[in-house]
Chains A and B, each alone.
Chain A
Amino acid sequence: MKDPATRLEISPDAPDEAARIRSSRIATIAIVGAAVVVLFLVGWLTTPEFVRWANLRNIIRAAAMIGMIALGMTFITLSGNFFSLSVSQTGAFSAIAFAYMLQWDWPLGLAIIAVLAGALIVGAAQGGLVALGGNPIVVTLGFGAALFGLGSTLTDNKTIRTGSTAADWMGTARPLGIPTQTWAFIFLAIIAAVVLTRTRFGRNVLFVGGNKFAAAASGIRPSRVAVQVFSISALAASIAGIFLSAQFSEGRLDSFTGDDINAIAAILVGGAALQGGEGSALRTALGAVFIAALENLMVLRKYSFGVRKLWVGVAILAAVSLFNYLRSRARTT
């Protein structure tokens, strides 16, 4: 039965609103960018070591690792599947697998492809379970633990040295003075941004996250998208793992401990909506820089481990509350 209140118009188009919405989109990026700038300013003013070139390189390197993982996970978040708790184990497992393959004298290219293929399969499996209706948090929690257990069993909880210099250039080269990992991070950020904005797949991801039913009604298959985004996330974590392994010439199970949380923090601080459909690769990348810089600054200022963790938690809650508020204000019709 139709209620006249729904059948008949209540509010006309809101011209000012449109401008406000557009500006709120810009506002989100501006806020994240501003936060990074402010952080760097604060660092510069209070802690001289912060802005030294060597330190900035450390920040970027840390941001690169977190960022690569976060960029991959961004696809999961944007599609409305929250996050993945298996990324750090995927990265660590990839690092170990890569180290093993180098140990066995596999050609570099083959090793990389094999590790990436394995990650793809693991990611697709998780995506498949989620496509069937599984809760993404629980599914990835289980896979992460299984990967950790498997990795520990295979390595007997030891560190695996690559014993080869084949991959050293990946880990330590500095084309144009910038470490390879950073190049990879920048590259991945660009690719992710392009995929999300300029490809059909990227549009599908944003649609599924924005409104799963409308996406299905437009002929998009949310279950296929689920498999795809979880595969991407695993791939990205795997790439980070390969780089880490190359850099230190070894693979360790605890290589990425805590980085899953850092990646999630980067995504949330970057303003992505947890329920999906809103967010961008660029913002996640900025978020990763912010988290890395924040951690770095706090270490330089001799904040204890506990205090640093506390501040990261506060940063997440503050960011999420702020973006929630902005979104609800902008959405009032």
Chain B
Amino acid sequence: MTDTPVAEAPVLSMRGISKRFGHIQALDNVDFEVRAGEVMALVGENGAGKSTLVKILAGLYRADAGEVRLNGEAIDLGGVLKSEHARIAVVQQELSLVPTLTVAENLFLGSSRGAAWRGPRRVGEDAAPFLERVGLEDLDPLVSIEHLSVAERQLIEIARLVARDARILIFDEPTAALSEKETDGVKRVVRRLRDEGGSIIYVTHRLDEVFDLADRVTVFRDGRSQPPVATGELDVDELIHRMLGSRLEAMYPPHGTTRGEVIMALENLRGPGLEEAVNLEVRRGEIVGLAGQVGSGVSDLLRVVSGTVPPFGGRVMLDGKPVPPYNLGASIRMGIGYASSDRKKDGLFLGRKVAENLTAPSLHLVSRGGWLLGARERAMSRRVAALFQIDPGRLGSIAGTLSGGNQQKVAVGKWLGPEPSVLMVDEPTRGVDVGARAEIYGHLRDLAEQGMAVVFASSDVQEVLGLADTVVTFFRGKVVSVRPRQETDTTTVMREITHRTLAKEAS
């Protein structure tokens, strides 16, 4: 919170903004504003509409309805250039820094300001003041980006936007991948920019940062906005309540009852993205939900257990036998299936038939001596398709033509081919519509009832509570708590995955 008086009239004012995608109303008559010299936090669950609003401000989407006013005047934000012209800038989550260029070169990359002929030393000198403003005054502007940490790169992204003289800066989850100390660095910059009169829109899941940094906060829920509130007038629980409301989720199947012996045990497992060793037991027939935001370590844990990345130490035991680390093939053969969260990148062969996708991890089971057995392959693809209710008529179609939900079913379902004892899924319903989500949940529960252990990671609190028998919460690379579902609720989970102090209390 700032002591300097803040102008009352907003610099940016959005009224009645609506945006529809197909039959989904992403934004429904939303109002949003931010003043000069203010940090406005934007919070809400996934799917609430925050990202859509940001993209509209960046000029990537065009609103279906509503008006945007800058300093009182109506403007049109159609197109990235117009948005730049309005001096609105977004600090990306996927960094846009070229690794082979220097700090200074990256800072001015893509900008057509200034003289075209300018030597590297001069460019370095030009960059210095902007580096200083983001707290990187000790950084040599002529150093290559390759040697910098994620936090420093994030700050350079910010410096680039400052250099482009943006007056409205949008930060989209800027500290997701940062340590605490690095986050402090970003926060210092945000405060400084605010004190200089800039308008900051700060989108985050980390509620402690909301209270630490923001003057006001706007909550989005289900595509609708609530009027902004000064952060001094709320506390965490009130904020969480406003974000979640009270919703009935009818899409989750009833929780399971069968619980067998321990099938997988993580013993002192350490690896990239995990700040502490993880100890966890998973039983047959159990669905374990790993709740955590981006950068909390949930995805990293799954990557280590599956053998995608090598661990630093500890081990994974499957049915009493140790699993060789960093060996995907061995993990698959031993009975671990793992579907990552980015299925377009490594979950599907979009150009190949659905049937071939479904048998991809099981080639060793449908072949003999290197020879693919057609009948066995067909039988397996039909069986796997049935398990996830994928239309057998589409087995011959190219995977790229399927809808998002069906693609997800293929990307996850194919792991049932090798009949794993443990199925691990990262973000099981990402990009999936409501109907298909319920189906996937049902299938996962059926698999558990038949004795499979299911471990899934999700940043959707409702999904974790709706589906899991055991809830494990993560924050900043550490496990916060492990509880049976009955012993926790949305508020508790939400606090544990977003609130720093609670993690400190728990440790």
Contact = CB atoms under 8 A, between A and B. Distances in A.
A214 B348 contact: yes
Contacts of A219: 328-329, 332-333, 361
How big is chain A's contact interface, by range? 35 or more
A123 interface: no
B251 interface: no
A8 B93 CA distance: 21
Interface stretch (A53-61, A203-211, A284-292, A313-321): A203-211
Given A18-B398, A217-B340, A10 B346 contact: no
Given A10-B22, A11-B22, A214-B347, A21 B398 contact: yes
Contact of A211 (B51, B346, B431, B433): B346
Contacts of A304: none
B223 interface: yes
Given A9-B404, A11-B403, A203 B372 contact: yes
A298 B52 CA distance: 59
B431 A6 contact: yes
Contact of A2 (B47, B433, B434): B47
Q: Which of B349, B394, B430, B434 has the most CB of A within 10 A?
A: B349
B347 A217 contact: yes
A1 B48 CA distance: 10
B421 interface: no
Interface stretch (A87-95, A193-201, A258-266): A193-201
B396 interface: yes
B432 interface: yes
Most buried by B among A198, A216, A277: A198
A8 B48 CA distance: 11
B49 A4 contact: yes
Interface string B369-387: 0111010000000000000
A13 B223 CA distance: 25
A21 B397 contact: yes
B316 to A, nearest CB: 16
Contacts of A10: 21-22, 24, 404
A216 B401 CA distance: 23
B107 to A, nearest CB: 26
B50 interface: yes
B491 interface: no
Given A18-B394, A219-B361, A5 B21 contact: yes
A200 B370 contact: yes
B459 A199 contact: no
Interface stretch (B124-132, B350-358, B482-490): B350-358
Nearest to A214: B346
B71 interface: no
Contacts of B351: 210-211, 277-278, 331
A221 B46 CA distance: 36
Contacts of A1: 46, 50-51, 93, 172-173, 203, 205, 294
B371 A13 contact: no
A22 B355 CA distance: 14
B450 interface: no
Given A5-B21, A217-B328, A207 B349 contact: yes
B26 interface: yes
Given A331-B400, A333-B401, A218 B361 contact: yes
A288 B217 CA distance: 67
B47 A199 contact: no
Interface in B193-232: 203, 205, 223
Nearest to B348: A214
Nearest to A19: B397
A13 B435 CA distance: 14
Interface string A241-274: 0000000000000000000000000000000000
B42 to A, nearest CB: 11
Contacts of A8: 21-22, 24, 26, 47, 431-434
B433 A277 contact: no
A189 to B, nearest CB: 19
B183 interface: no
Interface in B308-351: 308, 328-329, 332-333, 338, 340, 345-351
Given A12-B403, A18-B401, A21-B397, A214 B349 contact: yes
B402 interface: yes
A216 B22 contact: no
B51 A3 contact: yes
A52 interface: no
A211 B356 CA distance: 13
A17 interface: yes
B47 A216 contact: no
Contacts of B429: 7
B21 A4 contact: yes
A286 B90 CA distance: 52
B363 interface: yes
B395 to A, nearest CB: 11
Most buried by B among A1, A198, A211: A1
A9 B329 contact: no
B268 interface: no
Given A8-B47, A10-B404, A217-B308, A3 B55 contact: yes
Interface string B440-473: 0000000000000000000110000000000000
Interface in B289-306: 294
Contacts of B10: none
B492 interface: no
A213 interface: yes
Contacts of A333: 400-401
A14 interface: yes
B430 A7 contact: yes
Contact of B397 (A11, A22, A277): A22
Contacts of B333: 219
Contacts of B352: 206-207, 210, 277
B370 A201 contact: yes
Nearest to A202: B372
Contacts of B361: 218-219
A224 to B, nearest CB: 11
B360 interface: yes
A92 B47 CA distance: 62
Interface string A25-53: 00000000000000000000000000000
Interface in A72-91: none
Given A8-B431, A9-B432, A211-B348, 9 more contacts: A1-B172, A5-B26, A7-B432, A10-B24, A22-B396, A200-B370, A210-B351, A217-B340, A218-B361
25 contacts: A1-B51, A1-B93, A1-B203, A1-B294, A2-B51, A2-B430, A2-B459, A3-B51, A4-B21, A7-B432, A8-B432, A9-B22, A9-B403, A22-B398, A198-B372, A198-B374, A207-B349, A210-B351, A211-B345, A211-B346, A211-B351, A216-B328, A217-B338, A219-B328, A221-B329
The 4 closest A-B pairs by CB, nearest first: A9-B433, A213-B346, A18-B397, A3-B51
